[in-house]
């Protein structure tokens, strides 16, 4: 987390520690409420939305659950019990879709091409009169592929179907404007932009049919019950304010350096996802003939935290559904490594990471029975 975020949050733990009250409450509660609403406005303005269209949640998982379950519950009688998601969505969307499936919804899991892109024709053909919601992410969590959200939203608008997008990894890193794009619901999170963990938001376009999912009090326009986490909301707004275009360009330069050097300096490397249409902070490459967990462990011993789609790395021992979704086999997932860059990385770090990778991969290939020429 950025220390400036913590500083912005502090007063709402100690000085203005009240829960938000209505404007007829006590002064400290009114101050707290005002801080909450200011944060809401900041988030809304980033999307060019109105603040009444933003609700706070506990993070992207809750935002996506609220979007998918809330809209389908509201529309299952009026419209139908069909939902469309892409195959490479992150777990909040993917597993919510699977949960809906178990409850009797029909779910189409759209295929993606070898770089992770959804096919617009396929999307068009998948939409029926019964389709209540389409959910396609903006940027992929593992391979960084950025979908053509403009084209996707236009298809949905033309077919009169609501569209949700998971922008957890793209919010503030890429432009997203609800006046320009007919997207109806957007999942966002603070944790991906050096904000506090445990807070996210959901954009819900005015008049979108949605049933309350978390029952209780009347907070968040009666769409999400629960005492508002004001320090975190303030922190989220501050985190958004701190992301600059200059920073995004810097992340992109580090990303490009790692991709470029991996491809040119290490033999037998494949880039996963598209280079051109890619999240600025994400690089993901497969280093063939070696296993990802071995790489991440060696990298960790040298002070680098990277991630892999290898089955050996995951809690479930399942290889990455994203790499498999783009047509990769187990071997491709096995040696895939994801680099994510943040505010505190410098170009020297990117260079050092590749130097370390180069050595580690060479060493592991020495002992790999597959790497022999």
Partner 1 sequence: MKFPYSQKVLEHFKNPHNVGQIENPDGKGLEGSPACGDMVAVYIKVNPDTKVIEDIKFESYGCASNIATASIITDLARGKTLDEAKKITWKQASEELGGLPPIKAHCSVLAVEGLRAAIKDYEEKHGLVTEKEPTTEEVIKKRLKHVMNPLTGLDIIRTNLILKTSIEDGVVRVVVDLPANHQFAPAIKEDIMEKLGSLWDVEKVDVVFTA
Q: Considering the rule CB under 8 A, would residue 293 count as an interface residue with partner 1?
A: yes
Tokens (6 digits) for 65: 């659950």
The C-alpha atoms of residue 140 and residue 87 are separated, in whole angstroms, by 11
Q: Toward partner 1, which CB reaches closer, 32 or 290?
A: 290
* From 63, 310, 336, 340, residue interacting with partner 1 (rule: CB under 8 A): 310
Q: Considering the rule CB under 8 A, would residue 58 count as an interface residue with partner 1?
A: no
* From 5, 149, 319, 350, residue interacting with partner 1 (rule: CB under 8 A): 319
Q: Which of 150, 157, 147 is nearest to 177 (CA)?
A: 150
Q: Toward partner 1, which CB reaches closer, 227 or 301?
A: 301
Q: Considering the rule CB under 8 A, would residue 81 count as an interface residue with partner 1?
A: no
Q: Toward partner 1, which CB reaches closer, 197 or 324?
A: 324
Task: Identify the bridge partners of residue 339 per DSSP, sorted by sequence position.
Answer: 283
CB of 86 to partner 1, least distance (A): 17
Q: Which of 28, 99, 312, 352 is catalytic?
A: 312
Angle, CA 142 vertex, CA 335 and CA 105 arms, to 5°? 120
* From 20, 291, 339, 341, residue interacting with partner 1 (rule: CB under 8 A): 291
Q: Toward partner 1, which CB reaches closer, 122 or 331?
A: 331
| Region from 55-63, 241-249, 310-318, 340-348 binding partner 1, contact rule CB under 8 A | 310-318
In b/e form, how buried is each residue of 245-255, taking b as 16+ CB within 10 angstroms?
eebbebbbebb
Per-residue CA distances from 197 to 1, 57, 69, 123, 189 (Å): 9, 11, 23, 34, 8
Cβ neighbourhood burial of 36 (10 Å; 0-12, 13-18, 19+): buried
Q: Considering the rule CB under 8 A, would residue 367 count as an interface residue with partner 1?
A: yes
Task: Identify the bridge partners of residue 109 per DSSP, sorted by sequence position.
Answer: 85
Q: Residue 240 CB: number of other CB atoms within 10 A? A: 21
Can you tell me which residue has the tokens 């992301």? 243
What is residue 94's three-state secondary structure?
A: helix
CB of 187 to partner 1, least distance (A): 27
The C-alpha atoms of residue 237 and residue 51 are separated, in whole angstroms, by 12
The C-alpha atoms of residue 142 and residue 308 are separated, in whole angstroms, by 9
Q: Considering the rule CB under 8 A, would residue 270 count as an interface residue with partner 1?
A: no
| Region from 19-27, 74-82, 253-261, 294-302 binding partner 1, contact rule CB under 8 A | 294-302
Phi, psi of 182 (to 5 degrees): -80, 55
What is residue 269's three-state secondary structure?
A: strand
* From 56, 287, 313, 339, residue interacting with partner 1 (rule: CB under 8 A): 313
Can you tell me which residue has the tokens 């497969």? 286
The C-alpha atoms of residue 193 and residue 171 are separated, in whole angstroms, by 8
The C-alpha atoms of residue 18 and residue 14 are separated, in whole angstroms, by 9
What is residue 226's three-state secondary structure?
A: coil
Give how many residues touch partner 1 by CB under 8 A.
31
Q: Considering the rule CB under 8 A, would residue 334 count as an interface residue with partner 1?
A: yes
Q: Toward partner 1, which CB reaches closer, 150 or 302?
A: 302
Q: Toward partner 1, which CB reaches closer, 160 or 366?
A: 366
Q: Toward partner 1, which CB reaches closer, 283 or 290?
A: 290
| Region from 34-42, 85-93, 229-237, 316-324 binding partner 1, contact rule CB under 8 A | 316-324
Q: Considering the rule CB under 8 A, would residue 317 count as an interface residue with partner 1?
A: yes
312 is catalytic: yes
Q: Considering the rule CB under 8 A, would residue 305 count as an interface residue with partner 1?
A: no
Region 197-236 residues binding partner 1, contact defined as CB under 8 A: none
CB of 364 to partner 1, least distance (A): 8
Residue numbers of the site for partner 1 (CB under 8 A)? Answer: 289-294, 297-298, 300-301, 310-313, 315, 317-319, 324, 327, 329-331, 334, 366-372
Residues with catalytic annotation? 312
């Amino acid at each position: 987390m950025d220390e400036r975020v913590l500083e912005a949050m502090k007063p709402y733990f100690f000085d203005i520690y009240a829960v938000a009250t209505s404007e007829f409450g006590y002064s400290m509660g009114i101050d707290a409420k005002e801080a909450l609403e200011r944060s809401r406005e900041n988030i809304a303005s980033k999307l060019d939305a109105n603040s009444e269209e933003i609700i706070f949640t506990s993070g992207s998982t809750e935002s996506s659950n609220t979007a998918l379950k809330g809209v389908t519950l509201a529309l299952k009688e009026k419209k139908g019990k069909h939902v469309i998601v892409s195959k490479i969505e992150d777990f909040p969307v993917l597993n919510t879709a699977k949960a809906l499936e178990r409850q009797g919804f029909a779910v189409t899991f759209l295929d993606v091409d070898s770089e992770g892109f959804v096919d617009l024709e396929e999307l068009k053909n998948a939409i029926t009169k019964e389709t209540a919601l389409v959910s396609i992410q903006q940027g992929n969590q593992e391979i960084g592929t950025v979908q053509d959200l403009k084209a996707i939203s236009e298809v949905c608008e033309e077919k009169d179907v609501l569209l949700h997008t998971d922008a957890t990894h793209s919010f503030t890193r890429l432009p997203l404007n609800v006046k320009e794009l007919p997207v109806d619901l957007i999942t966002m999170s603070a944790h991906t932009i050096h904000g506090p963990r445990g807070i996210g938001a959901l954009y819900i376009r005015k008049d979108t049919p949605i049933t309350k999912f978390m029952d209780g009090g009347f907070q968040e326009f009666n769409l999400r019950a629960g005492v508002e986490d004001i320090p975190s909301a303030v922190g989220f707004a501050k985190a958004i304010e701190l992301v600059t275009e200059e920073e995004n360009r810097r992340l992109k330069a580090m990303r490009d350096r790692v991709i470029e050097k991996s491809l040119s300096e290490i033999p037998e490397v494949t880039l996963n996802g598209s280079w051109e249409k890619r999240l600025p902070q994400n690089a993901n490459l497969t280093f063939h003939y070696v296993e990802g967990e071995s790489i991440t462990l060696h990298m960790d011993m040298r002070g680098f935290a990277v991630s892999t789609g290898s089955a050996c790395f995951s809690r479930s021992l399942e290889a990455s559904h994203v790499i498999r979704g783009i047509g990769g086999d187990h071997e491709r997932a096995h040696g895939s490594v994801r680099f994510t860059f943040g505010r505190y990385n410098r170009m020297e770090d990117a260079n050092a990471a590749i130097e370390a990778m180069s050595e580690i991969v060479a060493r592991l290939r020495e002992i790999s029975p597959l790497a022999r020429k």
